[in-house]
Amino acid sequence: MANNKLIYLLMVLVSFFWGGTFNAAGFALADFHPLTIAFLRFAVATAILFLLYYRELISTPLTLKDWLSFFLLGLTGIFGYNAFFLYAMQYTSPVNASLIVAANPIVTALMATLLLKEKLTSRLAWGAFLSMFGVVLVISKGSWQVISSLEFNFGDILTLGSVISWSLYAIIGKTVSDIFSPVVITFYGFLTGTLILLPFGIFSKPGLEAIPSAGWTAIAAVLYLALIGSLLAFIWWNKGVAVLGASRSSIFINLIPVATIIISLFMHEPITPVQVAGCVLVIGAVMLTTDRQPAPAVEQEPVGRSEN
């Protein structure tokens, strides 16, 4: 149980790290194309991850089936999520996108129930619903006018694509977590995702040629995205998925707006009482899903290899 409490803490920290990526991305966009930022983010993270853990990585045998799983990780969680989300923001508003992303825990829970046979408990279902409602309060500031004035468009469909991509990443990550360590899963997901992003990162303008003239804030932002928002956050996230399951881990995604609000407090930006209430609701929803042992999935046939 003590180990689970540590996992919960790591998942909360991951939410704060990812909450900070929104501000970091804003600084990086001043000098780079969005897909160039995505490529640089994961290319740097992949290289450093290899330097830190190369002994474990080169000593881990991989089959063709393993490479297919890692390719799907890179395609969904690295390329798919970033491409859908970044292009969605050209057509939709941050409010629309945030509200749609808040459905991630529910989408992941349903997909995990269907594909992984994870048990969808009433506690988990209520936690997912309450966390989504809390995010609505945080984003809309409790204004019915904001909610009623929303107009959905093609960008919202793309945002839903990013939600489905991330849910698939969590589910695929869970399927390989019985075989590989979080480091191995993270590295090969990054590697395949970076290779898919490579042509987009090279040919998008302003691209890699902008690095020498880029400002130090843009460079620092890319390093934050690579080292904190990718390398550290993804390793901890994959560890959380392995221990807690895809459904329960996804609840922590809705802590990201809470993290953004708390960061705003330290930056002396105004927040409303309704937003505070929304934060409390999201935190309560997370606690609702974490105060018991994770529900086990339906037993499956044993895997042919032992865990690394």
**Residue 307 pLDDT > 50:** no
pTM of the model: 0.77
- The residue among 19, 87, 101, 76 whose CA lies nearest residue 190 is 76
Q: What is the pLDDT of residues 196-242, one digit of tens each?
A: 999 988 888 887 888 888 889 989 999 999 999 999 999 999 998 88
- The residue among 85, 46, 108 whose CA lies nearest residue 241 is 108
Residue 26 is predicted with a pLDDT of 75
Out of 86-100, 112-126, 198-212, give the one with best mean pLDDT. Answer: 198-212
Are the beta carbons of 152 and 96 closer than 8 angstroms?
A: yes
Q: Which pair of structure tokens corresponds to residue 26? A: 């804003």
Residue 20 is predicted with a pLDDT of 79
d(CA 225, CA 227): 6
Q: What is the pLDDT of residues 121-130, one digit of tens each?
A: 777 677 767 7
d(CA 248, CA 225): 25
Q: What is the pLDDT of residues 18-51, one digit of tens each?
A: 877 777 877 888 888 888 888 999 999 999 999 9
Q: Is 302 or 251 the better-scoring residue by pLDDT? A: 251
Cα-only R_g, the chain: 19
d(CA 162, CA 156): 10
